[in-house]
Amino acid sequence: MQRSLVSAVVQLNSQADLRSNLTACEEHVREAAGRGAEFVLLPENFAWFAADDDRARVAEDLDEGGPIIDRLRQLAAELGIAIVGGGLPERSEDPRRPFNTCVVVEKGGRVAARYRKMHLFDAELPDGTRFAESATTTPGREPVVVAVGKMRVGLSICYDLRFPELYRRLVRAGAEVMVVPSAFTERTGRDHWHALLRARAIENQVWVLAANQWGRHPGGRECYGHSLIVDPWGGITAEVSRGVGSATGRVDLERVELTRRRLPCLEHAKLTL
């Protein structure tokens, strides 16, 4: 029995306008679904991209509902597809520091899983740009793997990409596909984005779907784009490059099984987490 799913990664230029951002998301999700996509990944900050200390104002309780999660649920149910909302502000116990949450909405509109970003981006880049995500975001604690149709999907967000132990934990929990919704910067992206994504795919022998923001955003932040799909051998099978849009490809899980049989490096690992 063939196990595959037509999947799409959406690249956006989200701004500090919730309504416009959600409209853009819907347009691109509908376009991808029209090309046959059954699984659509949105980038980090897809619904709101502004100063980090402003995120708390639009944070939602995913159980009670709100403009962001309600739109995703309605769209998934209408189109009969699964949608991954790459990173949205979810209320936490600290009202000033919401979670940065990746939410999976299955085709019936039910929230199937949520992953709260564990690794927060606190860094000073070579050009002097500073980031302090931990000042405005509560970190998550648990890795998450969820079944989407016949796929087992490991969830992560942006800066998580630099921590290979997370992805090995996910693959040990059965992940065959990894999602990496991101707002990866232009400065680091041009040097590290493709290399890190391909490395995570190769070392774990999984498909990697990465949806990134692109262009300039409030506060002067600039993102790299180049949303892509990587196969278990590290080959790029689809890519958006620059601008907004989406890329679609068939994620064939038989490729995972074949790669692992031919080169059983996961079985040969000597060190465990």
State the amino acid at position 219 in one-letter form.
G
Q: Is 223 annotated in the active site?
A: no
- Can you tell me the mean pLDDT for 165-170? 98
What are the pLDDT digits (tens) for 113-142? 999 999 998 888 777 777 889 999 999 999
Q: What is the mean pLDDT of residues 10-19?
A: 97
Mean pLDDT of 13-18: 96
Write out pLDDT tens, residues 75-117: 999 999 999 999 999 999 999 999 999 999 999 999 999 999 9
Whether 107 is a known active-site residue: answer no
pLDDT cut 70: percent of the chain above it: 98
**What is the DSSP pairing of strand 207-210 with strand 228-230?**
antiparallel
Question: Which token pair is 142?
Answer: 């648990």
**Run of H or E residues at 33:** helix 18-34
Answer whether residue 3 shows pLDDT above 90. no
pLDDT reported for residue 246:
98
The domain made up of 4-268 is a member of CATH 3.40.50.10860: no
Q: Which of 44, 60, 90, 133 is catalytic?
A: 44
| Per-residue confidence band for 2, with pLDDT thresholds at 50, 70 and 90 | low
Compute the half-sphere exposure of residue 4: CA atoms within 13 Å on the CB side of its CA: 12
Round the average pLDDT of the chain to a whole number and report it: 94
Q: Which one of 133, 158, 176, 223 is the catalytic residue?
A: 158
> pLDDT of 50-80, one tens digit each?
876 688 999 999 999 999 999 999 999 999 9
pLDDT the model gives residue 1: 44
What global pTM score does this model have? 0.96
Q: Determine the Cα–Cα distance for residues 260 and 79; give it in Å rounded to an integer.
A: 34
220 exposure class (CB count in 10 Å sphere: 0-12, 13-18, 19+) = exposed
The pLDDT value recorded for residue 132 is: 86
Q: Which residue has the higher pLDDT, 217 or 126?
A: 217
Joined tokens for residue 253:
């899980």
> Average pLDDT for residues 242-256, to the nearest whole number?
97
Mean pLDDT of 15-27: 97
Measured between alpha carbons, how far is 65 from 53 in angstroms, rounded to an integer? Answer: 22
pLDDT at 71: 98
Out of 25, 117, 133, 176, the active site residue is 117
Instruction: Collect all residues with Cβ–Cβ distance below 8 Å to 91 and sequence separation of at least 6.
Output: 59, 60, 61, 98, 99
Which residues share a beta bridge with 58?
Answer: none
| Predicted local confidence at residue 273, as pLDDT | 62
